[in-house]
Structure 1
Amino acid sequence: MVSFGEGLDKALERTFTRPIPKSAGAQMRYLVKQHKGTRAVAELLGISQRTVERYVKDEIRRPRPQLAAAMEREVRKRWQPQVRAKAKKSAATTDGIMIDTRARFGYTAAPGTTDDARLRHLTVALPPHYAARLFDAQERGAGEHELREITAEALGEVYFRDNGRRAHGLTVQYTDLEHIEFDL
């Protein structure tokens, strides 16, 4: 299952205009350039500074699977920061963000209504101010719980309360997440 933070990152990665470097040497050179030195990259990846230097010079070509995954993850985090920032700004100011989720939704509402939680598959366009809140929370290091709360509030407002046209006072509970995907 993809987490909320990973889902937001994947949505931003789909806006990239160029693919990330493929070879271990190219990825390591990119990380060294971003961190302005081999020592910082070695600490980041948990390897020796000499090993980083050997990757930069293409003396080592095939990293072990754990190191390869760590290198790719760190390169993806830093790849095309201007494209990433432009996509975030666009989503937060004009375009909003699409969410496709399958989870159990329950809610508290006025007496006499059913509040039994049930599994739903929703695809909803969230307004820009919710996209801005999600990206701001992610940037300041918010956990999955806070991102889930923001998403539940957004889905409650847009889908269940229809932007204030019905179901006033409804509070949405977003649990048993099976699938989540964001798109810009």
Structure 2
Amino acid sequence: MPQPTPTTSITHALDLADARHWTRKPPTRPATRLRHLLTTQPLEPLAARIFAYPAAVARWAEGDDLSDLNPTHAVLIEREIYRSWQPDVRRRAHQQILDHNGCVTAQLHARFTYTTPNGEFPDARLQRITEDLPALHASRLFEARHAQADDDELRRILADGIGEAHFFRALPHDQQQAALTINDLHLIQFYY
């Protein structure tokens, strides 16, 4: 199974964690990957996501002429495979984790801003945190991912979970309204 790789995309970090639950491996050749992707989504949106012309994507999928497929395209095609491979297996794994009180652990390296009733307090320190998300936030994160939420929405959910699990658990009751914002994300990985 794929090893976790450093990323700053919460979406891709979730996809990498989901890959540990795959029951079979995805295709590895770009042409085969593109043929699979084209069975699950239209050509034009796929081409836009991998920053290529639709005609080039169609030609690459045929496998005859890959001369203009550069490493950036190959990485983006791989991300698309990770994003879309075995969606039913992904959903079952998420549900099983939530049903059995499984841990969703987030490891991140980031800067944060704290918002309290007294104002916003940015912290210039780059902090490395490994924390188990509360079940509610793990569920919200999975639901948002299934709904194809953008990275900003996933970042807000993650920030709420990290805030509750790591930063605000020791606050006095009258300060529980504090909120956390992830300002500068250098690395994010999930384990479950």
The TM-score normalised by the length of structure 2 is: 0.71
Shift of 1:123: 0.6
Instruction: Confirm whether residue 68 of structure 1 aligns to residue 74 of structure 2.
Output: yes
In the superposition, relative to structure 1, how do residues 139 and 81 fare at CA in structure 2: closer, same or farther (>3 Å)?
A: closer
CA contact (8 A) 1:152 1:173 kept: yes
Give, in whole Å, the separation in 1 of the partners of 2:23 and 2:108.
Answer: 26
Instruction: Confirm whether residue 182 of structure 1 aligns to residue 184 of structure 2.
Output: no
CA RMSD, aligned part only?
Answer: 3.1
Instruction: Confirm whether residue 98 of structure 1 aligns to residue 105 of structure 2.
Output: yes
Structure 2 residue aligned with 1:137, among 125, 139, 144?
144
Structure 2 residue aligned with 1:41, among 35, 40, 43?
43
2:82 maps to a residue whose letter is R
CA contact (8 A) 1:92 1:129 kept: no
Give, in whole Å, the separation in 1 of the partners of 2:45 and 2:107.
Answer: 37
Counterpart position of 1:79? 85
Structure 1 residue aligned with 2:33, among 18, 27, 38?
27
CA contact (8 A) 1:101 1:179 kept: yes
SS at match of 1:178: strand
Identity in percent:
29
Please list the CA deviations of residues 1-46 of structure 1 after superposition, one character each: whole Å capped at 9, or x if unmatched: 51222222222123223322112332233234435xxxx3366323
Give, in whole Å, the separation in 1 of the partners of 2:172 and 2:73.
Answer: 51
Counterpart position of 2:160? 153
CA contact (8 A) 2:30 2:60 kept: no
Give, in whole Å, the separation in 1 of the partners of 2:34 and 2:185.
Answer: 36
Q: Which has the larger radius of gyration?
A: 1
SS at match of 2:8: coil
2:12 maps to a residue whose letter is E
Shift of 1:130: 0.9
1:64 maps to a residue whose letter is L
Give, in whole Å, the separation in 1 of the partners of 2:75 and 2:186.
Answer: 24
Question: How many positions carry a matched residue from both structures?
Answer: 173
SS at match of 1:95: coil
Give, in whole Å, the separation in 1 of the partners of 2:156 and 2:31.
Answer: 41
CA contact (8 A) 1:90 1:96 kept: no
SS at match of 2:54: coil
Residue segments in structure 1 that go unaligned for 5+ positions in a row: none
Give, in whole Å, the separation in 1 of the partners of 2:146 and 2:156.
Answer: 16
